[in-house]
A = this chain, B = another copy of it.
Amino acid sequence: MKFENQPSYSLGQRGPNKDTLAGESGNVRLVSQSTLGEINRGRVLQALYDNGPKSRAELARLAGVNRTTITGIVQPMIEEGLLVEGDAVPSDFKGGKPARPIYFNPEAPMLGAVLLLPGRIQTCLVTLSGDIKALTKAQFDPHGDRGAFLAIIKDTLSATLSQAHQAPFGIGIASGGMIDSDNGVILAVNLAPVLTGLHLVDILQAHFSLPVVIDHHPRALLVGDRWFGPGRGQQNFAAIYTGEVLGGAFYIDGRVYRGLAGSGGELGHTVVQIDGELCNCGKHGCWETVAALPWLRREAARLGFANPESVTCARLVKEAAEGAEAANGLLDRYTRNVAFGILNLQQTLSLNSYVLHGDIAGGGADAAERVRQHVERLVKKRPNQEISITLNGIGEGHTALRGAAGLVLSSHLKLVI
């Protein structure tokens, strides 16, 4: 028989000479058996991350598979030193062979991490359980010479990596600015032009002979929440950062959402006030224009606050607690404005869980509770769906470094086909 009148067309989103990607029209990838094995190994590791040390039998129950299957997956990783078997744990039952829990080997390789901010570099090692080691800091001229910058970052990383007893799994980089995470390129950093256009991943991979991954700062915070923070075990949640700018990122179904070449998640530049204040991106009325520190300080000045340039969420919370009505009012407006963007994310994606970072997190539990109450007032609740607003990153402030390390974990574990 002849097949006729069969359409085969697309919406025209691909540019000229662009290679088709897996899953795009014209190219559907099947799953091979070795890929199947990789997926399952990654999921077993994920289960250990999410649930803590577990025996083979417990892992088999969690994963819905045969005990033999778990042994087959786990044994090679014990033999290669990634995992280790713990002491026998007496059973909770009447009788029964004691279980032998399995977990990550403290002697396992660590993760390299780089935090890249305009003018400043921090590097460290992070253990599989999230401990920070060999922290090294340096500064660079954001408008300076490309070669000088590369020398500084290589030296700083070398100082850190020299304190590892064995080669780490890889190096993760959290950077400000517009990042193409697929190609490992810093597309643009307005505050540090020396970085713009830098193919940093290729350069560092060649220099250190280690896998290198890069992503932008809010997404690194998110990944840090996922592996080492309040997002542990979560499949769907967002991290929201407020400061000089406003940014965010989110996990959907266990995966960091990136969009094409990492371009998704420009949450600060979604519009919440048509024809509102001019944003530094050129549009009017972006979420960032009403929910970042510049807005807060401008409003503080307009309302006659003392030292308006030093107004932060923490300061407002403190002054409100001391009875200052003006501070209470401004704090309420700020947290309400933050809530509008969270509302829009909630309406769009139903993530139900949000972790606050940066200035808004500096306001502590009081600020978080205000944001949550505003969000709850705005969202039409669905049955059995509580919205959770939590904090991370207050205190020692290494969330972004852990996040950078988490980028390595996410890419190494191959958790999703």
Contacts and interface: CB of A to CB of B under 8 A. Distances in A.
Interface of A: 1-3, 6-13, 15, 18, 23-33, 36, 39-40, 43-44, 46-47, 50-53, 62-65, 69, 84, 86-87, 101, 103, 129, 180, 187, 230-237, 252-254, 257, 259-261, 263-267, 269-274, 276, 281-283, 290, 337, 340, 343-345, 347-353, 355, 378, 380, 382-388, 390, 417
A278 to B, nearest CB: 13
Given A129-B6, A283-B378, A272 B272 contact: yes
Contacts of A69: 30
Given A62-B28, A274-B340, A282-B380, A386 B103 contact: no
A207 to B, nearest CB: 26
Nearest to A275: B273
Given A40-B31, A265-B348, A3 B382 contact: no
B12 A388 contact: yes
A3 B263 CA distance: 40
A3 B348 contact: no
A15 to B, nearest CB: 4
Nearest to A21: B235
A63 B7 contact: no
A352 B261 CA distance: 12
Contacts of A264: 348-350
A353 B14 CA distance: 10
Nearest to A354: B11
Question: Among A31, A44, A52, A283, which residue has the most Cβ atoms of chain B within 10 A?
Answer: A31
A388 B230 contact: no
A58 to B, nearest CB: 10
A158 B233 CA distance: 46
Contacts of A29: 43, 63-64
A10 to B, nearest CB: 5
B36 A33 contact: yes
Contacts of A39: 30-31
Contacts of A10: 230, 232-234
Given A25-B234, A235-B23, A270 B347 contact: yes
Top 9 nearest A-B pairs by Cβ distance? Answer: A25-B233, A259-B350, A264-B350, A3-B53, A270-B344, A6-B52, A28-B47, A266-B347, A8-B52
A348 B345 contact: yes
20 contacts: A1-B86, A8-B51, A11-B237, A15-B384, A25-B233, A25-B234, A26-B50, A26-B51, A27-B64, A30-B69, A259-B351, A260-B385, A261-B384, A263-B382, A264-B348, A264-B350, A265-B348, A265-B349, A266-B347, A272-B273
A103 B2 CA distance: 10
A265 to B, nearest CB: 7
A30 B415 CA distance: 11
A340 to B, nearest CB: 5
A232 to B, nearest CB: 7
A101 B3 CA distance: 8
A327 to B, nearest CB: 21
B388 A257 contact: no
A63 to B, nearest CB: 5
Contacts of A263: 350, 382, 385
Contact of A50 (B3, B8, B103, B387): B8
Contacts of A25: 50-51, 232-234
A333 to B, nearest CB: 10
Nearest to A283: B378
Contacts of A276: 274
A28 B6 CA distance: 41
A104 to B, nearest CB: 9
Nearest to A417: B417
